[in-house]
Structure 1
Amino acid sequence: MGKKKLGLVPKLLLAIILGIIFGQLSMLPDFVIQIAVTISSLFSNFLSFIIPLMIIGFVVIGIADLAQGAGKLLGVTTLIAYSSTLLGGFAAYFVATHLFPLFINSDLSTAIQGSAPGLEPLFTIPLEPMLDVTSAIVFSFMFGISISWMRSQNKGETMYHLFGEFNLIITKVLSTVVIPGLPFYIFGNFANLSYAGSVFTILSVFWKVFASVIAMQLTAVALFFIIAGLYAKKNPFTLMKNQVPGYVTAIGTQSSAATIPVNLEVAKKNGVSAQIREFVIPLGATIHLLGSIITIISCVTAVLLMYDLPHQFGMIAGFVAMLGIAMVAAPGAPGGGIMSALPFLTMVGIDPTGTIGNLLVTLYLTQDSFGTAANISGDNAIAVIIDKIYHKYILQKNDSVSVSVENES
């Protein structure tokens, strides 16, 4: 048997712990900590460079794919998945803005912001992005919609494949450079936070946000199954019980794609017909992100409150709507959701490569597996609803048409 590799979450937790210890070692000269800070700074510069490219890689193909495909089922499934994602984001914002201020108060914000300044990197390498974020967003929407239109005219396959392969390149860079580099990035940042004296104040908030997010995800999934059960006239509690293997598998793998085989078996147990489950479950693994958006919006609201930054609904609403599209093309690897969300953090006033952006990434990744589990659980609720729609409105209608044609003949 081969050696079992350490997963991303244990690596991140280890990086946080070691970073805190490293920053607290008073016998170390400052330049030793600055080495770690320098590595984090270089990684941050690279992240700034790749963010506009991530927007193009994810959003162009995401929009082109969303608008493609024939049949009412695709449209209805996409509408339900996107609506679920939006509602999850808005609900998370509502809960976070009312619950989090109970343990993130003005005294805590003052303590975080009043901490001593951290150490500066030993050197920096200027690496300017090829495009700014706004230009990348406009470019992506323009090309995504245009490619979708061209494909409807039986054209544009070359452009579609060009951006599809560009998406693969960005995904490969994320999986081989960015994701593996995150523990080192987080280590350097937490070493600096520990050196500055603000880390323990921040961690006192993290675990409460973590618990709140998981509670919100479980509540959202339970409500989704109740709605699906009532609509399809199935026992919601049986549906939830059947989902347990899929939920546990998702926690272990941290991947929606890797959970598809188990989720298909769950859908079969729920009585979903083969043609519907084989269509909805793989599609839902890509476009339905209920758990991920609950996590991201909760974490974003938490860090905005911690640093006493604006967090009005109008600002968050645009961010939620954008994430619903951007995360569709997120890589299926652990952390894919937050990686696709990083480019749009500027919409809510967060620098994705700064201290606040780093805190957000860390908070998200430490519970990414639970977000994935909520995502794929919601997929089976959608499958139950779509199966009912298919048999009630589409299959019966086709049968009626066939009968009327036979009678006329």
Structure 2
Amino acid sequence: MEFLKTYRSMFWLLGGIIAGSIAGVLAGDQVVIFKPIGDIFLNLLFTAIIPLVFFAISSAIAHIDASNKLGRVLGVMSLVFLSTILISGFLTIVAVWIFPIHQPVTLSKAADLGSSGNFGEQLTQLLTVSEFYELLSRKKMLPFIIFSVLIGLAAMRSGERGVAFRQFLYAGNEVMKDLLTLIMKVAPLGLGAYFAYQVGTVGPQLFGTYAQSLGLYYGFGIFYFVVGFSFYAFVAGGTTGIKIFWKNNILPTLTAVGTGSSIATIPANLEAVARMGVPANIGNVVVPLGASLHKDGSSISSIIKMAVVFGMFGKGFDSPEIIFMALGVTVLASIVEGGIPNGGYAGEMLVMSVYGFPIEALPPLMIIGTLVDPLATILNATGDNVCAMLTARFLPKQVPATA
């Protein structure tokens, strides 16, 4: 019953998508009447996601303890987080190449999704804006994220002078998470209506793309969970590290499945890393920050969602420039996605912004993100435990975890 309660919103969303699919098949030419309902829902998400990203990023960074004694821990932790995210993202790209997701339908012909001008001009347009108000556009998510990071760093450095502002950032983050929860209550209706329109105009063959993407995610995700995490544990402590990790990772895994939240798994993770031999001064930093900033499961899903949407819009997902950009997006998506149910939509907005996809790209991104959420949560949450072991392993004068 607790499992059903946790994933109730996902089941409702699936119900809305199924009902919308049936309506799309039956409605014929009248399917256009559903589109405004879907558009209204998507517009609500578009308007809420900008402040949500700002408060989530700036609040997380602003509340980091910047004392010198934590400097080494934060430095090594950041390198470990970045490495595992990039490894998971790159391996997913390889999996997509080996098991390509065939596109039976194309929502739109390939368009110039990139910026105009030479490389320097493209980089400038991608990372910055010339006016403050331009930051508030969903088409400028990357500059907005950079701005949010800088605000968080400034708030962190302000010390006593910035206490009130840091409290404001924390409160704003809590309010915006509740706003997203409210909007997602109408997601079954909104996404169902949009899916009805897509099925009615494109055809039922649209389901084949989703089935392939889900099969690839769960197949590779389980492989990464078992083999990837075992490899990291081996690096952290040899064969003993593997045994100690899996012996103590069962409870966090079950907690992640039951709660559907990386944040809610923090207590179980803290208890687990202590039993894994991670010193408290390391585990108490890596686990809470990892819940907000480190998500291997989201990295894997970001790559698969990008591959799917690129195919739906008739664009190849194989050039060096696109692959390099995709890895960068996975890192940013891991940061901007909150450790809460439905938090992944911020990352999906980032994908749309960086590549310039139209509004029609959001429903496929959201549907895939929703369906992979259980396994993604496991990877996101329990990945923090093995990262805590790695951080302890690579910190100077720290002894690798032992039984």
Q: TM-score, normalised by structure 2?
A: 0.79
Task: State the partner residue of 2:254.
Answer: 248
Q: Which amino acid aligns with 2:9?
A: L
Residue 181 of structure 2 is aligned with which of 172, 175, 193? 175
- Does the 8 Å CA contact 1:62/1:325 hold for their aligned counterparts? no
Answer yes or no: is 1:188 the counterpart of 2:186: no
SS class of match (2:287): helix
- Whether the 8 Å CA contact 1:255–1:332 is kept in 2: the answer is yes
Contact preservation (8 Å) 2:290, 2:384 = yes
Q: Number of matched residues?
A: 370
State the 1:235 CA deviation. Answer: 4.4
Give the direction of change, closer, same or farther, for the CA distance of 1:68–1:318 in structure 2 (3 Å limit). Answer: farther
* Aligned-partner Cα distance in 2 for 1:326–1:369: 18
Given that residues 55 and 137 in structure 1 are in contact (C-alpha distance below 8 angstroms), is that contact kept between their aligned partners in structure 2? no
CA distance in 2, matches of 1:331, 1:62: 10
Task: Note closer, same or farther for the CA distance 1:378–1:269 as it changes in structure 2 (3 Å cut).
Answer: same
Q: What's the CA shift for 1:292?
A: 1.0
| 1:124-169 deviations in Å (ceiling 9; x for gaps) | xxxx999323556435524532552464353444444444333333
Contact 2:333 2:350 in 1 (8 A): no
Equivalent-residue separation in structure 2 for 1:2 and 1:261 (angstroms): 18
Task: Find the residue that maps to 1:81 and give its secondary structure.
Answer: helix
Name the counterpart of 2:81: 81
Task: Give 1:15 deviation, angstroms.
Answer: 1.2
Tell me the distance in 2 between the aligned counterparts of 1:327 and 1:67.
21
> Which of residues 368, 376, 386 is equivalent to 1:363?
368
2:345 matched to which residue of 1? Answer: 338
1:395 Cα offset (Å): 8.1
Q: Where do 5+ consecutive residues of structure 1 fail to align?
A: 115-127, 397-409
CA–CA separation in structure 1 for the residues paired with 2:94 and 2:163: 42
> Map of 1:233-382 to 2, 5 A cutoff?
233=238, 234-237=240-243, 239-311=245-317, 312-325=319-332, 327-351=334-358, 354-382=359-387
CA contact (8 A) 1:250 1:373 kept: yes
TM-superposed CA distance for 1:241, in Å, is 4.8
Q: Which amino acid aligns with 2:46?
A: S
**What amino acid does structure 2 have at the position aligned with 1:261?**
P
Any conservation in 2 of the 1:40–1:185 contact (CA below 8 Å)? Answer: yes
Q: Which letter maps to 1:202?
A: L
Q: Runs of 5+ in structure 2 lacking a partner?
A: 110-132
| Deviation (angstroms), 1:388 | 3.2
- Structure 1 residue aligned with 2:222: 218
Percent identity reads: 22
Q: Distance between the aligned counterparts of 1:69 and 1:326, measured in 2?
A: 27
Q: What letter is aligned with 1:191?
A: A
Residue 340 to residue 204, structure 1, CA distance change in 2 (3 Å): closer
Paired letter, 1:47: L
In structure 2, the partner of 1:57 is 55
Q: CA deviation at 1:361?
A: 0.6
1:382 maps to amino acid: C
What CA distance in whole angstroms lies between the structure 1 residues aligned with 2:2 and 2:257?
22
Larger radius of gyration: 1
